[in-house]
Amino acid sequence: MIRTFENKLIVWGARGGLPASGSEYSKFGHATCCVHLETENKNFVFDAGTGIAKLGQKIIADNDKRPIDIFIGHYHFDHILGLPFFAPLFNKEIKINIYLPVLNNEAGIKALDKFLSPPLFPMDRSIFSENTNFIEFKVGEEINLKNNIKCKTMSLPHPGLNTAFRMYSNNFDFVYASDVEAEQTTTIEDIAMFSKNTQYIFIDSSYTDKELKQRIGWGHLSYQQVIDLAKKLKNSKVLIFHHDFFRSDQELEEILSNVLTKSNNLSVCRELSEFTFQ
């Protein structure tokens, strides 16, 4: 039987900081950042938070041998914690490229090697299959991929810096911008320019305005700042992402009941949310 695949985005983790634990977080999900772009010829994964583990289980269960490209935005642990639990990394039949940004002139492989070593982790990356490749890139470069797929990159203000990705082809166009703080008056405008006319943008929206005042320098946006961005991107669906791990379903629903009315192109990410391309 010939399998067909629709170009679509699937959210495997929408939390930030830590995985959320408890039934009161189930509606929006427990896992940290991981977004999957499924295409006919390849699987693309953005960030390797804890959500990537369940994605890996599904790929193996489906006997899916398509190559996988993983894009890491930065090296805070909530974005790489799931990597050594991603089952395809141990399957010799699946080719995997892991794209690592150079941040603050430091090679990303150093951060991964620090994480994947005792006493932080019992094994090092030699446990991965020989078909796993690590590819370094400079933020600001465009990454050229096969099948007329391209990926633009942009530096984001965040402690230690972060990377925004814009992945596009004739069949899809979206932006993944997980962790960012509006350190400059131009930050929101800069993101809007980078994302102009994209169909979707996943955007950090961690705090209320009151919380933001107490968390300057923590590296995240407020809901109001995301509303401001949505008003600048009227042709895009702006996806609220990176929910605080202590934000319960009830609290999120109460906040979002107000936020989502402020602009008609706002939507919210939940674990296993799917978004298709028109």
pLDDT tens digits, 77-116 = 999 999 999 999 999 999 999 999 999 999 999 999 999 9
Least confident range from 118-122, 143-147, 149-153, 255-259: namely 143-147
Domain CATH number, residue 66: 3.60.15.10
Categorize the per-residue pLDDT at 4 as very low, low, confident or very high, splitting at 50, 70 and 90. Answer: low
| Residue 22, domain member (yes or no) | yes
Q: Which of 253, 274, 277 is nearest to 12 (CA)?
A: 274
| 38: containing domain | 8-276
Q: Is residue 198 part of a domain?
A: yes
Tell me the C-alpha to C-alpha distance, in Å, between residue 56 and each of 154, 242, 253: 27, 21, 30
Asked, for residue 1, whether it belongs to a domain, the answer is no
Quickly count: other Cβ atoms within 10 Å of residue 189's Cβ: 14
Q: Tokens representing 108?
A: 């990303």
The DSSP code sequence of 182-232 is: --STTHHHHHHHHTTT-SEEEEE--B-HHHHHH-TTS---BHHHHHHHHHH
Helical packing angle, 223-232 and 187-194, nearest 10°: 50
Segment 203-228 shows an average pLDDT of: 96
State the pTM of this model.
0.96
Rounded mean pLDDT, 202-218: 96
Task: Report, as an integer, the average pLDDT of 14-25.
Answer: 97
2 belongs to a structural domain: no
pLDDT value, residue 1:
45
Q: Which two tokens stand for residue 141?
A: 């470069």
Structure tokens at 166: 């814009």
Number of domains in the chain: 1
**What are the Cα distances from residue 238, in Å, to 81, 124, 177, 265?**
26, 38, 11, 6
Contact 106, 68 (CB under 8 A): no
Segments in the chain forming alpha helices (H): 51-61, 108-115, 187-194, 209-214, 223-232, 249-259
